[in-house]
């Protein structure tokens, strides 16, 4: 199964969530799994969490996955507190992701 990489910017919030969701869905529409490279992303708002959860649901419905790479401790803590952590597999680098 093919996997594409999407490189996140410094934040995933209400200012860019809609655009990022469209870009992620474009990959998922190609029947591919996706790696969200969050190495440079230090902030995820509730709007960003919604994008991530929606992406997970779309991928799962198609038999694909959303992998998270380079998630900061702060973002991971928020994901853990909200229960989002259970939906994703976490990796330190893109090279670690294997399907």
24-69 tens-digit pLDDT: 999 999 989 999 999 999 999 999 999 999 999 999 999 999 999 9
In this prediction, residue 98 carries a pLDDT of 72
- Number of domains, the chain: 1
In this prediction, residues 73-91 reach a mean pLDDT of 94
In the block, which residue shows the tokens 């259970």?
86
Question: How many Cα atoms sit within 13 Å of 49 on the Cβ side?
Answer: 16
The residues pairing with 33 across neighbouring beta strands, listed in sequence order, are 3
How far is it, in rounded angstroms, from Cα 50 to Cα 95?
26
Range of the domain at 16: 3-93
Q: Are 75 and 44 in contact (CB under 8 A)?
A: yes
CATH code for the domain of 74: 3.30.750.24
Q: Is residue 43 part of a domain?
A: yes
Q: Is residue 26 part of a domain?
A: yes
């Amino acid at each position: 199964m093919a996997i594409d990489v999407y490189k996140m910017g410094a934040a995933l919030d209400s200012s860019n969530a809609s655009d990022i969701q469209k870009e992620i869905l474009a990959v998922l529409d190609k029947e591919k799994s996706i790696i969200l490279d969050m190495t440079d992303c230090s902030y995820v708002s509730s709007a960003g969490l919604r994008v991530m959860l929606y992406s997970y649901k779309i991928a799962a419905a198609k038999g694909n996955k959303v992998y998270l790479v380079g998630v900061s401790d702060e973002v991971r803590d928020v994901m853990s507190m909200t229960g989002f952590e259970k939906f994703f597999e976490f990796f330190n680098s893109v090279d670690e992701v294997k399907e």
